[in-house]
Structure formats: C-alpha cells, structure tokens
Structure 1
Amino acid sequence: MTEPDQAVIARLSSDFAAMAAYLARASVDLRQLERIVAERPVAPAQPVAPTYWQPPAYTPAAPQPPAPVPPTPKPPRSDGWIGKALAVAGVAVTLVGVALLLVLAAQAGILRPELRVFAGAALAAGLVGVAWRLVDRPGGRIGAIALAATGIAAAYIDVIALTTIYHWVSAPVGLTIAAVVAVAGLMLSRRWNSEHLALLVLVPLIGLGPVVADGITVVLVGFMLALGAASVPVQLGKDWNGLHAARTAVTTLPLLLALILTSFNSEHAPLLAVAGSVAAALAIGSAVVLLPHTKHPATMAWVSAAGTAPVLAASLAVDTAVAALMAAGLSAALLGIVLVGDRLTGGATSVRSIWAALAAVSALVAVIVAFDGPVAGPVLLAMAVVVAVGGRRNRVARWCAIGFGVAGGLFYLAYAPPSFLIEATELSAPIAASTLIASLLLVAWAVAIAWSWPADWSWASAAVVALYATTTFTVTAGVLLGGEEQGFLAGHVAATLCWIMLAAAVLRYAAKVSRAERSLPIGGGMALVAAAVAKLFLFDLGTLDGIFRVVVFIAVGLVLLGMGTGYARLLAQQDSREGQA
C-alpha cells in the first residue's frame, strides 16, 4: 500500500471517529429530552389529518420587499398649557386688584392707609405660603409658581406704595426692602428651578410699577435697577435667557420712557446719566458673567446690546458733553472686552462680533453728539481709515470701517456738496480747512477699504470716491488760494491733470504685473482715461476759458502721448522678462 493510500485511510478513520462522537452526544441529548417530555402532563391529542411528503417544487427566489416600518405614533397633545394660561391670567388680574387696593382706595378714602398696606402684605404672605405647601403635591407645581409670583409681585407693589404714595419710609429704605423681597422671590425660583417664576416676578412690574408710583420717577428707576442687579446671582449656572431679557427690560424701559417723555427736569439730569450708565454696566456685566452657562450666546449678546440703549439716547436729556462721554466710555469698555477675547465672551465668536459692532455704533454716537458736521466728518473718516487698516483681516472691522466712512462722507457732502464743483463758491476758512482734510482722508479711506477687501467692486467704488474727493480738494484749494474766479478754474485744471496722472499710474502698474493679473488694472486705467477725457470735453471745454483751457488740453494731450509710447515699451519689456523666466 502506498503512502497516499495510507493518508486517505487515516483521514477517513479520524472522520468516522468524530462522527461516532457526535452520534453518542446526540443519543445522550435524546434520552434527556425523552425524560423531560415524560415528566410533563399529557394534553388530549387532537386528530391530525395524514400528510404525505412531496418534493418541493422549484421556484426562483424573488427578492422580498422590506417590511413596512410602522409610523411613529404622535405623542398625545398635552393640555398643560391651559393651566399655565389660566395661572398667568390669574397673576395679572390679582396684581391689578392689589394696585387698585393701594391706589384707588387711597383716592376714594376707602379703608385707612394702615389697613390697605397690611391687607396687601397679608395677601402676599398668604399666597407665598399656599404656594410653598402646594408645590410638592402631584400636579401642583404650575399653580404654586403662579401663586408665589403673585404674592411676591404684590409685596413689591406694597413696598412701592409705602415709599411713593404714603411716604412712610424714605427712598433708600424702600429700595432696601424691595431688594430683600426681590432676592427672596428670585431665590425661591432658583430653589424650585423655575424660570417661569422668575419671569412672573419681574415682568408684571414693568407695567404696574409706574401705575403705583404715579409715573416714571427717580425712585422707580432706582428700584428697577436694584431689582435687576438682585436677579443676576439667581441665574448663575442656569441657561435662562428669558430671565436675562426680562432683567434688561426692567432696567431699560423706564429709562427710555424718561428720555422720550422728558420726565426728568434739569436737576435730575446727573441722576439720569448715572442711571443710564448703571443700566448699561448691568446689561453687559451680567452677560459676561452668565455667558459661560448659556447655549445661546448670540441671543444673550443681542439682549445685552439692547440694554445699552439709555446710554446711546442720553443726549435727549443730558448735556451733549456728558452724553458724548457716556457713549465713548461704553465704546471703550466694549472694545476692551472684545480685544481680551475668549476669557470674557465665553469663547463665542458671535458675541465678539455683536459687541464689536455695538462699540462702533457707540463711537459713532459719541462723535455725532460731541461735534458739529465740519468736525465730525474728518473725525469719522480718520476713524474709518484706522479701523480699515488695523482690522483689514476681520470682517466685522471692515464693515465698521465702511460705516464710519459712509457717515463721515455724508457729513462731508453736507458742507461740501457737489454744487461747489459746478459753481465757484467761497468758503470760510474753517469749512475750507475741514473740506481739505476730509478730502484727503476720504481718498485714504477708499484705498484702505479696497486694499482690505480686494474685489472688482471695491476698487471701482474706491476710484469713484477718490476722483470726487480729489476734485473737491483741488477746487477748494484753488478757491481758497486764488479766489472764486481764477482759483476755481485753476482747481479744475489741477483736478483734470490729477485724473489723467492717476490713470497713467494705474496703467504703469498694469505693465509691470504678470499677464494673468493684468486685466483688472488695465480696465481700471482705461476707465480713468475715459473719465478724464470726458471731463475735459464735457466740462472743461465749456467752463474754462483763456489760458486755463489751453493749458489743460495741452497737458492732458502730452500725458496721453507719453502713456501711449511708454506703455507699449513697458509691456514689451515685461513680456520679454516673463518669456525668459
């Protein structure tokens, strides 16, 4: 027997041994199953029709469609909003009743003042006590929050009545009591983890406070500021943007109403300035503290920006110098926060962008309030140049630079309108100096914007602005130095020469760049040539006379000849260098 035959026999032997082992194991399992079945109770047998085995018919396998996914059942609509709506309505109606008790009852002489105040305090305490017992019961949370909010708000109104209606306590004492009540109510909202309770404590006072205090008064504004400050610690660690919005409304709306309605007389102007600054500091400072705990930083930043409105509108009631200093201080503070960066803004880029824009608006307000047009124009244009150069890599800074430049340009057009370029007008020395400075700054701003925001539209816009500013500069300088007649004509000659020289400079630059980068400067240079020639024939030919017309035509013609011959030579040299490279 050969070796391959022995190997096959050995493999068969091992296979049969494995099969025997499997059969022995199956025999053991069958005996165990028989024993288990024998121990079970026997059920009555059902007659079974005899079946005969048939070979299965062959059918091609067809792909089975996927089992249909049953639609997700919609959760049943909750009717909890009904209880909340009724609770809010109950808060409003009850507080109106408390206000009527303290105000109308006093006017009609119903009950003694002590009884009115005691009744209000007893009602407030009773409502909070009932809420405390109800909150832990099943389904009692909504009602407990509404009762507690009503009781705390009633206590606020009682304190305001003590201070402003009956004058039993001074304003500082009344504000201290109100602050204690506020802290108690807001701490209760934190204990119950209920933003709704905090909102129901704060929001009703926006309307009811002025009613009880008989208008917007200094005491009411101070009370609202104290209440807003007391609500900040309650929000620590909580993502309660609604409470932040309510706090901002409570501290901002009374001040804005005072500014619009001029409720404060001149002797209260310093208090108004202080109150506006405190409101802005509270809006921004509380946001800085709370930003690390919110998932919606942009919303909080916008709400805080709205809280600075009293500072931006302070010029309605206070001196312009004070209002300008307030706006400038706000701008400086916001700019400092933005420059510090993530440590104060919670790492949110949106917050830095919003507050950077707000800093720019504050600076704009400060300049407009502090200076008249001939001074405000150059100042704003200088700010625009600085921001455009310093923030050329930041999108928000570029838009702020555009805003400053547009505002400064509007002032510039107000005291140096285009009509000055058509008809000779003698300007006073301050206006002429402002026009000359603003013209140079306008050219610098246009170039800086086009440089920081490179695009076809930016360079085209910069060219238009630069041409207008250059013409205004030359004409103003000509009238200032040579008078209305000769100086005006000389200024336009200089303007046309500046236009054509600028075109020559752009085309010279186009000849020195590569062929791939040449189309934009060539187009710009030829557009400037067309503009200069158009001005030469449409305006200079009919306006200038005598030697001025001769000079401008000869000078422009010589420049065009030089450009024609020199550009071709420079272009050939540049192409030759590119070919060698």
Structure 2
Amino acid sequence: MAVAGVAVTLVGVVLLLVLAAEAGLLRPELRVAGGIALAGALVGVATRLRRRPGGRIGAIALASTGIAAAYLDVIAITTIYKWAPAPVGLLLAAVVGGAGLALARRWDSEHLGLLVLLPLIVLAPVITRGVDLLLVGFMLALSAAALPVQLGKDWSWMHAARVAATTVPLLAALVAMSRHDHPWLIGAACGVAAILAIASGLILLPASKNAGALAVLTAIGTMPVLAAGIAVDRMQAALLAAVLSAVMLAIVLVGHRPRIVTQIWSAWAAIAALVAVTAAFAGYLEGPVLLAMAIIVAIAGRHDAVARWIAAGFGIIGAAMFYSYAPLFVLIRATARPTSIAVSTLAASVLVVAFVVVLARAWLGVDRTQRNSDLAWILGVAGGSLVIYAVTAFTVTAGVLTGGANGGFLAGHMAATICWIGMAAGLFVYALRLAAGERRTAPITAGLVLTGAATAKLFLFDLATLDGIFRVAAFIVVGLVLLSMGAGYARSLASSSPREQT
C-alpha cells in the first residue's frame, strides 16, 4: 500500500506540473510552488511519523515521495518552463539528492537511499534531454558524493545503484557519441569512473558481508574502460585497458583479501589485458603477443589455479589466431604467403610449442589428489595435437619462405615428417628414464601414437607428394630412427625385471 501510494502521488505531481501546463490550469509559479510545498510537507510528515511506533515504513515511503516530487519540480523548472539552464538544474537536483542521502544515513535506511538515488538516475537524462558529457560529469560527481553515505554500512544494493549511476550513462554516451565528439574527454570520464569504482570497492570491502558481489560490482564499474574503443582511438583505448589491467593485477598481488575477490579481480585483469592487446595490435601481431603473455602467466602463476586458467585462456585465443595465419589447406598445398604472415606464423609456431610445454609443467606441479585423470588425458591429446600442428606449420612455412612454393614446400614436409618421428623417439627416451610403472604409460602411449602418425604420413602423404631426394631422405631417416627405437627399447626390456617387462 505504501509503494502504491508513492506511485499514485507522483503521478498526481506529474499531472500538476505537465498536464496542467498543457491545459492552461493555474499559473506556472503556482504549479511549481505547489510541488515544492507538497514535497516539503511530505518530508515533514515523514519526520514526525518516524518518531512514532511502527512509523518507520510509512516515513520512508513519505520521505522518498517528497524527494521525488522535488526532483520533478527541478525537471519542470529546467525543461518545461526554461527558468534555469541544464547545469543549474543538475546542481539543484544534486542538492535535493544530497539532502535525501543524508537523511537516509541518519535514519540508517538503505531503502530510502535507493529511493533517493534511483529517481535521480532515471530523471537526470530528462533534465539534460539526452546523454551528454554534462550528464556524465554530473553522475560521476553524484556517485562520488554518495560514497560517504555507505561508509561502515553493508549496503550492497546502494553500491549497485552507485555503479549503475556511472556505468549506464557512460556506456550510452560511448554509443551515442562519435569519435569526433570530444573523444579524449569521454575517455577521461571512463578512466575516472574506473578509479571511482575501484576506490569504492576497496573502501567498502571491510564492511561487506558479500565480498563476491562487491568484487563483481567493482568490475562492472570499470566496464566503460573496456568499451572505450567504441568512441576513442585505438591507442587511447589500449592505454586505458592496459592501465586498468595493471592496476587490478597490482591490487590482487598486494594485500590480503578474500579469495573470491582475488579470483574475480584476477580474471578481470586478464580480460582487460586481452582488450588492451586487441586494441593495440592489429594484423598478425595479436596471436604471438597473446601466446607470449600466456607463457609468462603460466610461468609466474604456476602454483595458482586462476593464473593457470588465465594462461590457458590467453593460449587458446592465441592458438586460434595462429590457426587463422596457417590454416590446414596452406599446409597441404604449396602456397606462397606474404612475408609478414609467414614471419608471424613462424613466431606463433614456436610460441605454441613453448606454451604447451610450460602449461604442461604447471599442470604436472598440481597435487595429484586435485587432478582429474580424464581431463588430463583430454588436455594431453589437445596439447600434443597443437605441438604437432605447430611443428608442421613451422617447417612448411619456413621451407616455402626460403625455398619457394615448389622445392621449399617439399623440403618443409620432409622436415616435418622427420620432426614427428624425432619427437616420438624423444618420448621413448624420456619414458626409459622414468621408473617403471604408471608414469611410463603416458609418454609410451604418446610415442606409439606419434610413431604411427609419422609412418602414416610417410606412406599416405609424403609418398604421393614428395619427389626426388626429399622422398628418399624422408624414408631413409624415418627408417633409421624406427630401427634405433625398436632396438633400443628391446634392449631396455631385456635388461629389466620380469615385472617391469609385464
């Protein structure tokens, strides 16, 4: 009933200010004065009602109605009657909102604070007649001014409203404004919003009982920075995202905070870094840069699960870009490619192999009780396939780049087949150095699969594609390696115990 009363009363105020003006009822001064008188009376009655038993709910409803009525009066003064310019109207609205927020803190009522803040968020664009830099600046100031109201309070919904007050207008402004409408100013506003969101999150975190929700709201408050590329140039967008990523990472590394907060902010720092790389690097540089970042994160954070997943995310995206540089049809048909693409492919191939190795070592460092054996096999197959593809792409690309689409392509595939069988031999040697038992299963299985793949490639592809000395060299080298592998492994089995042989 109280909520219905709020709605009906505000409709009446709108009728007084708008429809009465259209119908010519009463003078404008009387309409505005009537609205102000009604707003003051409602707040006065709310103050008296709160002192009585059971009057808290009614007092909050009456006070919020009075403050909303005052907002409507400000809108009428600014937009309908043109008695004040938009900056003055926003200032008057801020005075009304500040008084309402002060009353909410005094009454210790989050609901009143929301009923004060939300109408201003909705009605401020009406005053400015759209989203512009004036509205964005006002909302930033309003959100900053409302922060002291939350100090020492666990008001999550209030914090969400403050975040929405800056994030929604900024995102709308980025979409509405072109790159020629003060791009540096809108970019700076995005940066200020991110600073305000991060500072608010750090200040309010000690009093919050839901640290995860606060961390998510803080991240949402920095979204305009990640979306700044809509309206600003590439370098400014990359700089904003890179600074955000660095700041979030520094906050994660410094100080002790709940683990859920660390995880959320670490993931957000990774997303910001991804946006920065995408904005800064164009063409065929993104893949190698992301793979290099994946390697660095996997090495630095090998003992942290979140860091390993972030590294995997960077690596997967980088590997997908690498595949776009070197699709399968380029490897099975002699194709001359521009030097820039070839160089990026060579760099990405090396980085893919390094990424798989580094991530595998980080995964092996995880406690055995926390590993999922099925997931380990899937990741092992995926990683091995990536390495084989990267090695093939490197040899074929290098061959075509140096020797042309004819002889270079054939030499590259010959080298690829030799590398395949060489990697299989390396896996068998590695298995022999391990203690007998289950630890040998994975490298031996991988070695056998790779040996079969290399032999199949030799007979199904190389025999039909290669010619001359390349075909001869591939068969002789692969044959000698197979002989060495068979003889060496048989000798190792003969010198082992019966149980190890089994």
What is the TM-score with the length of structure 1 in the denominator?
0.79
1:544 maps onto 2:452 in alignment: no
Q: Which runs of 5+ in 1 are unaligned?
A: 1-85
Q: Among 481, 484, 488, which residue is 2:402 paired with?
A: 481
Q: Report the CA distance shift for 1:286/1:330 in structure 2 as closer, same or farther (over 3 A).
A: same
Cα distance in 1 between the residues matched to 2:27 and 2:177? 31
Q: Deviations for 1:525-560, whole angstroms, at most 9, x for unmatched residues?
A: 111111111221222122212221111111111111
Aligned partner of 2:380 in structure 1 is 459
- The change in CA–CA distance for 1:519 and 1:182 in structure 2 (over 3 A counts) is same
Give, as a single letter, the amino acid of the residue that structure 2 aligns with 1:315: G
The answer to whether structure 1 residue 510 and structure 2 residue 431 are counterparts is: yes
Q: Which residue of 2 aligns with 1:359?
A: 269
State which structure, 1 or 2, has the greater radius of gyration over its C-alpha atoms: 1
Tell me the CA shift for residue 328 of structure 1: 1.0
- Distance in 2, Cα, partners of 1:209 & 1:97: 20
2:412 — aligned with what?
Answer: 491
Equivalent residue, structure 2, for 1:384: 294
CA distance in 2: counterparts of 1:207 and 1:306, whole angstroms: 19
Give the C-alpha shift of residue 174 in structure 1: 4.6
The one-letter amino acid of 2:329's match is: S
Which whole-Å deviations, capped at 9, do the CAs of 1:554-573 have from their partners, x for residues lacking one? 11111111111122334556
State the partner residue of 1:276: 190
Moved more, 168-177 or 275-284: 168-177
- 1:433 matched to 2:355: no
- Contact 2:242 2:272 (8 Å CA) reproduced: yes
| 1:127-526 alignment, distance < 5 Å | 127-159=42-74, 162=77, 169=84, 173-260=88-175, 262-263=176-177, 266-342=180-256, 347-454=257-364, 455-516=376-437, 517-526=439-448
Alignment of 1:525-536 (within 5 A): 525-536=447-458
2:90·2:124 contact (CA, 8 Å) conserved in 1? Answer: no
1:234-280 CA-partner distances (Å, limit 9, x unpaired): 111111111111111121112222233x2466223223212222222
Aligned to 2:370: none
Amino acid at match of 1:284: I
Deviation at 1:420, TM superposition (A): 0.8
Matched letter for residue 259 of structure 2: T
Q: Contact 1:222–1:275 (CA<8 Å) still a contact in 2?
A: yes
Residue 162 of structure 1 and its aligned partner are, at CA, apart by: 4.8
Deviation of the 1:205 alpha carbon = 3.2
Matched residue type, 2:234: T
2:137 maps to amino acid = G
Counterparts of 1:296 and 1:204, CA distance in 2? 26
SS in 1 for 2:285: helix
Corresponding letter in the other structure for 2:172 = L
Distance 2:457 2:386 in 1: 16
Does the 8 Å contact 1:155/1:181 carry over to 2? yes
Which residue does 1:4 correspond to in 2?
A: none
Q: CA RMSD in A?
A: 2.5
User: Unaligned regions of 5+ residues in structure 2, if any?
Assistant: 365-375
Q: Match of 1:188, as an amino acid?
A: L
Q: Provide the rounded CA distance (Å) in 2 between the counterparts of 1:362 and 1:323.
A: 11
Helix, strand or coil for the counterpart of 1:374? coil
The Cα of 1:124 is off from its aligned counterpart by 2.5
Greater mean deviation of Cα atoms: 134-143 or 198-207: 198-207
Q: Is the 8 A contact 1:280 1:307 kept in 2?
A: yes
Residues 441 and 178 (structure 1), Cα distance of their counterparts in 2 relative to 1, 3 Å cut? same
Q: Measure, in 1, the Cα distance between the counterparts of 2:173 and 2:422.
A: 57
For the 8 Å contact 1:92–1:204, the answer to whether it is kept is no
Contact 1:157 1:209 in 2 (8 A): no
Higher relative contact order (CA 8 A, sep 6+): 2
Q: Secondary structure at the match of 2:39?
A: helix
Name the structure 2 match of 1:121: 36
Query: Contact 1:442–1:466 at 8 Å: present in 2 too?
Result: yes
Quote the offset at 1:438 in angstroms: 0.8
The letter for the 2-side match of 1:382 is: A
Aligned amino acid, residue 332 of structure 2:
I
For the pair 1:566 / 2:488, whether they are aligned, the reply is yes
Letter in 2 for 1:243: M
Q: Per-residue deviation at 1:175?
A: 4.4
Hey, what's the Cα distance between the residues in 2 that align with 1:477 and 1:264?
Answer: 44
Judge conservation of contact 2:290–2:315 (CA < 8 Å) in 1: yes
Structure 2 residue matching 1:232: 3-state secondary structure: helix
Once residues 31 and 213 of structure 2 are traced to their aligned partners in structure 1, the CA distance between those partners, rounded to angstroms, is 42
Correspondence for 1:71: none
After superposition, the Cα gap between the structure-2 partners of 1:318 and 1:519, relative to the gap in structure 1 and judged at 3 Å, is same
Post-superposition shift, 1:334?
0.5
Return 234-243 or 217-226, whichever deviates more: 217-226
- Residue by residue, what CA displacement relative to the aligned partner does 1:485-540 show, whole Å, maximum 9, x if unpaired? 11111111111111111111111010011002211111111111111112212221
Offset, 1:185: 1.2
Q: Which amino acid aligns with 2:204?
A: L
